[in-house]
Structure 1
Amino acid sequence: MARVRTVAVIGGGIAGPVAALALRKAGIEATVYEAYPHPAHGIGGTIAIAPNGMAALDIVGVSEPAAAVSWPVHRQMMTVGRTRLELPALAGVGPLQVIHRSDLYRILAADAPIEYGRRLVAAVQGPGGVTATFADGTEVQADILIGADGVHSTVRGLIDPGAPGPHYTGMIAVEGQSPATVPEEAGTMVFAFGKKGFYLYGPALGGGTTFGVNLPHRPLTIAEARAIPPAQWKNTLLEIYGEDSPGGDLIRALPADELTVNGALHIMPPVPHWYRGRMVLAGDAVHAPSNSSGQGASLAIESAIELARCLRDIPDIEAAFAQYERLRRRRVEKVAARAAKTNSIKAPGPIGKALMPVVMRVFMKLAMKPEKTIGPEQRYRIDWARPL
């Protein structure tokens, strides 16, 4: 089979543009097709990019601009009631970088070719390529099609109509930047387990305090969540975190209309089929661990680059896809399994709450062994220069 020359990438979030940049670096023409009619400027909350994710971004030349608009986290603390401890850091890997999702989109879109308003509705494979059909009636032909279209992926269903869909974690992401201050030094992130829920906070760039909440809640889309009045969300947060310190103070000081509600948090269970014929999945469409992992965006970036590397070096499409899955499946599913355990602590049921003191002692012991728990994740590097 002839080497891949053209690629249609579905989805303009993170994995899609990174895949296009890596493919072009590999000498393969790639275009991203995004369903939304315009770029996501100013939309979305913050995400964390781990050191392995920043190293992967460096391969496609965007790590420096991303770091320039990020909040570097050099120190991490954990609090449970009155217990407070500093989590040991990995040596020599660099800081966690917290960045606004819209800033990362903007940086990626500056170099990746993206066409907006192109919502995929069908794809037909043939011996010479794949034809993608969009809701506006237009069609695009390419040698292969990459589905980087998120947890609610259309391409996943085209590859395997029986594929599992995303699972709701039981939590909604809410965040904001409070004018209230905390005593922590710049570059510190605190993971706090309050009386009724989990939250995190740290000194914000330019003053005040950035905080984020994983709020136990019935599932809502972003549109449904943002249709609820901000004042109602603030009252809900105060019901859960109002008695916590500094959580309650941060929320009370924040004007309600400055809260950012990001909708339901989902994870992807293991997907049986990552590819079929000339179609393949990347990013959250095939592996979306809980945000508890701190690796969601980083794994999506890695997978997009490894897929491009496989297509660069392996002429046979099916063999390239199979190698890509071999390189990625075990790693991403291991990270997802670790994060799932953390999720059960962040949104415990009645029995879990009763056992919380015991659970947290075990959790803290594991957290104090970073080389064992997160070392293999954050020290991972893609050797782009090495041929497969």
Structure 2
Amino acid sequence: MTSVRTALVIGGGIAGPVTAMALGRAGIEATVHEAYPSAAEGSGVTLTMAPNGLAALRWVDAERAVEEVGLPMRRTVVTDGRGGRIGAFPHVAVEPVTLGLWRDDLARVLRERAEAQGVRIVYDKRLVDAEQRADGVLARFADGSTASADVLIGADGIRSRVRTLIDPQAPGPQVLPLLNLGGAARYAVPDADPEAMYFVFGSRAFFGYWVQPDGRTAWFANVPDHRPTSYAEASQIPRSQWLHRLREVFADDVPARQVLAHTEPDDLVAIGSIESMPSVPRWHDGRMALVGDAVHAPSPSSGQGASLAVESAVQLARCLRDHPDVPAAFDAYERLRRGRVEKVLRRGRQTTSTKTVGPVAKRMMRLMMPLALRTFLDPERTLGPEQRYRIDWDAPVATELAAGRS
């Protein structure tokens, strides 16, 4: 039985509300502290929630709410910039199916579910420091206020303040040589399969999209660029300028050029360079621990960022539930999670590297893809174990650790 009764969760994006809900189910009262003054609507673009992530949301009674704002994605179609099909493959045959959705919709729904379960979310609370004491943690915020609880959980994203409090020498995110942009076009790509994701290896850059029931096309673009660009820097560039650049980059590629032609500047979001986390040496210290992107942010190409965050939130709560000693609980949590998430981190980096291949490699891809999809790129073989992973909330954590499952 846990000795923990209260928790401070730092970060109100995706991992934070799920962590608070999972802790609540474990009998721990959690309060979420979000740095921004209000709910950050419109931040981010599209993402996917994999079957393993949706299954984990079931344990915090949020699966149905997320399904209502997502679109089922049952297959992926890969084409070149001329519209020629390189390959197509079904997604892993497992329920629930992968969802395509907007990040702000996902964050909103999770906040709403958390608040409906009694979780308090406090805004404009940017963490600056934390003091560990024998009986808990005292958090200090930029506005001069403080808060205390038995434990503090850092769900504060890829630039986590909690990560640097746990380990001042902790690594920061690695920048990948691709810009990440996205948006919605007031246009539906003709004859597009409504349950398919489309990946386009264009002449100069990578383009992804799916068509929504409202007649719009949700899209994202990854453009090679070796100059690191932060989200803040990308946001300072006018959206019309970004859109002009994208229309030049994809001028020879279909249907990217048509989608971009029907995109308005206000419907575009520039994220900046793609980032992912390297292996983080210290996941916890004393009464503080990390969850989600703060400790294991994969490249967006993995399709697992949100799902891994949800899994870790649930597993962290289970470990605190089952261990009366906080450091032992956090150690069990890391043992359950590290191996699994680092496999996904490696796969995400490998997938991202394929988005920068040159024309010769693209020709080889066209020739080899049919064979590859029947052998080493078979979705069941490459993604099946990853997406079939399921958490058993009711099982003792000790039993899972003894079985060596991760």
| TM-score interval for Structure 1 and Structure 2 normalised by the shorter chain | over 0.9
- Tell me which residue corresponds to 2:50: 50
Give me the whole-angstrom Cα distance separating, in 2, the residues matched to 1:298 and 1:93: 14
**Are 1:381 and 2:390 an aligned pair?**
yes
Residues 93 and 378 of structure 1 are in contact (CA less than 8 Å); yes or no, is this contact kept in structure 2? no
Moved over 6 A (4+): none
User: 1:197-236 alignment to 2 at 5 Å?
Assistant: 197-217=205-225, 218-236=227-245
TM-score normalised by the chain length of structure 2: 0.90
**Secondary structure at the residue paired with 1:329?**
helix
- Tell me which residue corresponds to 1:246: 255
Show CA shifts across 1:62-107 (max 9, x none): 1111111112212211113534321132223332112222222222
Q: Does the C-alpha gap of structure 1 residues 296 and 363 become closer, same or farther in structure 2, counting only changes over 3 Å?
A: farther
Give me the whole-angstrom Cα distance separating, in 1, the residues matched to 2:254 and 2:156: 39
CA RMSD of aligned residues (A): 1.9
Give me the whole-angstrom Cα distance separating, in 2, the residues matched to 1:345 and 1:353: 12
Give me the whole-angstrom Cα distance separating, in 1, the residues matched to 2:111 and 2:210: 29
- Tell me which residue corresponds to 1:287: 296
**Secondary structure at the residue paired with 2:296?**
coil
- Tell me which residue corresponds to 2:380: 371
- Tell me which residue corresponds to 1:103: 105
Q: Does the C-alpha gap of structure 1 residues 363 and 278 become closer, same or farther in structure 2, counting only changes over 3 Å?
A: farther
Query: What residue ranges of structure 2 are gaps of 5+ in the alignment?
Result: 398-406
Aligned residues: 385
Show CA shifts across 1:297-342 (max 9, x none): 0000100110000000111111111110011000000011111111
User: 1:1-388 alignment to 2 at 5 Å?
Assistant: 3-80=3-80, 82-110=84-112, 111=114, 112-182=119-189, 183-217=191-225, 218-348=227-357, 354-358=360-364, 365=372, 368-388=377-397
Q: Which moved more, 1:213-222 or 1:148-157?
A: 213-222
Residues 177 and 204 of structure 1 are in contact (CA less than 8 Å); yes or no, is this contact kept in structure 2? no
The residue type equivalent to 1:318 in the other structure is P
Residues 87 and 368 of structure 1 are in contact (CA less than 8 Å); yes or no, is this contact kept in structure 2? no
**Secondary structure at the residue paired with 2:169?**
coil
Q: Does the C-alpha gap of structure 1 residues 256 and 320 become closer, same or farther in structure 2, counting only changes over 3 Å?
A: same
TM-score normalised by the chain length of structure 1: 0.94
**Secondary structure at the residue paired with 1:19?**
helix
Q: Which moved more, 1:98-107 or 1:121-130?
A: 98-107
**Secondary structure at the residue paired with 2:130?**
strand
Shift of 1:361: 5.6
Using the aligned pairs only, state the percent identity.
48
The residue type equivalent to 2:124 in the other structure is G
The residue type equivalent to 1:143 in the other structure is D
Give me the whole-angstrom Cα distance separating, in 2, the residues matched to 1:195 and 1:304: 40
Give me the whole-angstrom Cα distance separating, in 2, the residues matched to 1:91 and 1:282: 29
The residue type equivalent to 1:347 in the other structure is T
Query: What residue ranges of structure 1 are gaps of 5+ in the alignment?
Result: none
The residue type equivalent to 1:167 in the other structure is Q
The residue type equivalent to 1:30 in the other structure is A
